[in-house]
Structure 1
Amino acid sequence: MSKDIITPCIGICSYNADGLCVGCFRTGDEIVNWFDMSDEERRSVMLQLDQRAQSSFD
């Protein structure tokens, strides 16, 4: 495992009503498990973040 995908955390750690961090739009489980995830798992999460962010502002 190369762990090439860095965390999307920007240091604003607060959760919205959907249970997503308002800084990076990851779930609590994704945040806690980030460093244990494979690159493939991280990539999968990263691909969802833009859509989650857009949905939060709709």
Structure 2
Amino acid sequence: MKTGLPEHATPVPSPCVSLCKMNRDTGFCEGCLRTIEEIVAWSGADDEYKRAVWARLRLREQALGFD
């Protein structure tokens, strides 16, 4: 089933939007909401890890009211 969501694609695309600035209060990138650890691990990660990161991003978007 295709939903059009990036986390359902293979290979899983990066959530990076080229707005790279870490927020000191949240510890998340202000562009993609990943932690520095998630950003560093991304390039060597498998699709399972990347989908798990996307799932966390969706929760962060809701919690922070991220548009």
Fold match, TM over 0.5?
A: yes
Stretches of structure 1 lacking an aligned partner (at least 5 in a row): none
2:56 paired residue number: 48
Q: Aligned residue pairs: how many?
A: 56
Larger relative contact order (CA 8 Å, sep ≥ 6):
1
Following the alignment from structure 2 to structure 1, what is the Cα–Cα distance between the partners of residues 60 and 46?
Answer: 21
State the TM-score, normalized to the length of structure 1: 0.83
RMSD: 1.8
Q: Deviations over 1:1-58 (max 9, x none)?
A: xx6001000011111211100110100011011011111000000011121123234x
> Higher helix proportion, which one?
1
Identity of aligned residues (%): 38
TM-score, normalising length: structure 2: 0.73
Greater Rg over alpha carbons, structure = 2
